[in-house]
């Protein structure tokens, strides 16, 4: 039985976990960096302990410091949120070895799915379709298979994420240059430079399936999330259900997701991600072995609390719903509000928030850790808020998002709110005919015409 949860994260996800623990009547302690001393999660946790300086490598990525803090505070479980140590096998193994319950998957689960090349091999064996490619980290053989598959192809880092260590290659002549560029980028970002290649699919949709797996072998699959609105491989807007996915495709994706997680005996929350071509043929690309940034969309659609479910699974409890209870009750859309300047190539915009007015009313949810007077640090990810709307139809969710974007005021820093207003007035987005690469094309064309903010 979990007696006290340690939150090994910061920002809005730390606050989300704290709220889930409070609703479950579980005491919660947060480990914070010196730079987060005055953050909302630190104020609202039952206990708090400083784990190091502002730099993440000295605090949120400092395994000895975090494990010591867990033990000192008497916590017997840790929730890693997303990012930082959430998919760090070493951290999970250390927690397991000293009797700390890790609220997430097993080390084997993370190891199998964390290596994207190995994950594709496992998916193939499970009968889940994958994009044609070559999974070995061998330059000569990768080039051979690239020519065999046909350009364009994608070079990707095995340990990649967030668009780093990833390049599209159109010809064999540029293959070598891009290969070594990706390799160096991956070494810097992830500590190792292993690469693999796969066929580039023109104008795909990025569709993902949320799963929850308990300790008794039960798998719960949720309606899809469409994450195709991206900029430089970073998700911006997510919605559920997808305007592109029909009932037949939804069932196929859920069936593939279930086969994959059963193959690896997965535990806790996870997300299986697919690229779907224009003919609605799905291809597995990766699995994220953690809670996702965009989990509120699924919660708004189904009414099921995913974070509380994570804690219940880790506590070896029975979930309070069945597969039959997981239904599409609403349409939901999420915008990731970042402290970035869209007029200046989306450069980070740290600083103090001088004025903050948040939208409210029917069908609006806000997940954020900021407040008036809060200082947005340059040390961390630029995500400051998740603005989520939901309604009976996609149109109602969109109209509520437009209203929310008009109502919100964040003064003192630059944010991506003006950029989202443009997307929500774009006819291609409104029609639901968008695709991966749509936003990059929109930005490029609009800047050329000086139309985005003029």
Catalytic residues: 290
Backbone angles phi, psi at 40, to 5 degrees: -60, -45
**Beta strand residue intervals within 200-266, DSSP E:** 205-213, 219-221, 225-231, 234-240
∠ CA 331-208-241, nearest 5°, is: 15
- Residue 237 backbone dihedrals phi, psi, to 5 degrees: -130, 135
Q: What's the Cα-to-Cα distance from 76 to each of 6, 20, 214, 370, rounded to whole Å? A: 8, 17, 19, 29
Beta bridge partners of 231: 234
What contacts 234, CB < 8 A, 6 or more positions away?
Answer: 162, 163
φ and ψ at residue 98, rounded to 5 degrees: -110, 15
89: exposed, middle or buried (Cβ count in 10 Å: 0-12, 13-18, 19+): middle
Give CA–CA dist 17/105, Å, rounded. 17
Provide the 8-state DSSP code for 130. Answer: B
Handedness of CA 23, 61, 383, 376 (dihedral sign): positive
Where in 378-441 does DSSP place strands (E)? Answer: 383-391, 409-411
């Amino acid at each position: 039985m979990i007696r006290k949860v340690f939150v090994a994260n910061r920002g809005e996800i730390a606050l989300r976990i704290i709220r889930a623990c409070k609703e479950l009547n579980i005491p919660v302690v947060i480990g914070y960096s010196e730079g987060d001393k005055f953050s909302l999660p630190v104020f609202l946790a039952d206990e708090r302990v400083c784990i190091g300086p502002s730099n993440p490598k000295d605090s949120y990525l400092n395994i000895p410091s975090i494990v010591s803090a867990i033990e000192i505070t008497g916590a017997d479980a840790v929730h890693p949120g997303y990012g930082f140590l959430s998919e760090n096998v070493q951290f999970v193994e250390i927690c397991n070895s000293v009797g700390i319950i890790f609220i997430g998957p097993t080390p084997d689960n993370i190891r199998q799915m964390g290596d994207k090349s190995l994950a594709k091999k496992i998916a193939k064996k499970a009968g889940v379709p994958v994009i044609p490619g070559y999974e070995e980290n061998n330059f000569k053989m990768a080039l051979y298979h690239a020519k065999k598959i046909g350009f364009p192809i994608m070079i990707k880092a095995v340990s990649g994420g967030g668009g780093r260590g990833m390049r599209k290659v159109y010809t064999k002549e540029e293959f070598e240059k891009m290969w070594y560029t990706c390799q160096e980028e991956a070494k810097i970002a992830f500590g190792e430079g292993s690469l693999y290649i796969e066929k580039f699919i023109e104008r795909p949709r990025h569709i993902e399936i949320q799963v929850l797996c308990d300790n008794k072998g039960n798998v719960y699959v949720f309606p899809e999330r469409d994450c195709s609105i991206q900029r430089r491989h970073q998700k911006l807007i997510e919605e559920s259900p997808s305007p592109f996915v029909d009932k037949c495709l939804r069932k196929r994706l859920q069936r593939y997701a279930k086969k994959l997680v059963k193959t690896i005996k997965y535990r806790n929350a996870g997300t299986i991600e697919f690229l779907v071509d224009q003919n609605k043929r799905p291809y597995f690309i990766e699995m994220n072995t953690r809670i996702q940034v965009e989990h509120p969309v699924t919660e708004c659609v189904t009414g099921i609390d995913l974070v509380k479910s994570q804690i219940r699974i880790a506590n070896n409890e029975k979930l309070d719903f069945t597969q039959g209870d997981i239904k599409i009750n609403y349409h939901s859309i999420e915008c990731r509000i970042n402290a970035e300047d869209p007029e200046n190539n989306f450069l980070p915009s740290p600083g103090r928030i001088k004025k903050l007015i948040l939208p409210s009313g029917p069908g609006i949810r806000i997940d954020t850790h900021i407040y008036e007077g809060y200082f947005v640090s340059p040390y961390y990810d630029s995500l400051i808020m998740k603005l989520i709307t939901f309604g009976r139809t996609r149109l109602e969710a969109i109209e509520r998002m437009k209203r929310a974007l008009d109502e919100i005021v964040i003064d003192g820093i630059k944010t991506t709110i003006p950029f989202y207003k443009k997307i929500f007035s774009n006819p291609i987005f409104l029609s639901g005919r968008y695709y991966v690469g749509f936003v990059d094309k929109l930005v490029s064309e609009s800047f050329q015409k000086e139309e985005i903010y003029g």
